[in-house]
Chains A and B, each alone.
Chain A
Amino acid sequence: MLRFGPAIGPVVIAAMPLFEEANRTRAFIVTVLRALADRGIASVLPDLPGTGESLIDTENASLNDWNIALSSLTENIGAERGAVHGIAVRGGALIDAPFASRWHFAPIPGESLVRDLLRTRLTGKDSADDAIELSGPPVELAGNRLSRTLLAQLKATVPVGTMPLRTVRLDSDTQAADRHVPGSPLWRRSEPDNDPALARLLADDIAAWIATCGG
Chain B
Amino acid sequence: MLNLIVRRVAIAIPTLLIILVISFLLMHAAPGGPFTSEKPLPPQVLANIEAKYGLDQPIYKQMINYTVGILTEFDFGPSFKYKDRTVNEIIAQGFPVTMTYGVWSFIVAVFFGIPLGLIAALRQNTKTDYFAVSFSITASVLPNFVMAPLLILVFTLWLGLLPGGGWNDGSWQNLVLPVIALSTSYTAELTRLTRASLLEVLRSNYIRTARAKGLPERTVILRHALKPAMLPVITYLGPMFVGLITGSFIIDSIFSTGGMGYFFVNSALNRDYSVMLGITLLAGGLVVLFNLIVDLAYGWLDPQIRY
B is bound to A: no
B residues near A, CB below 8 A?
Answer: none
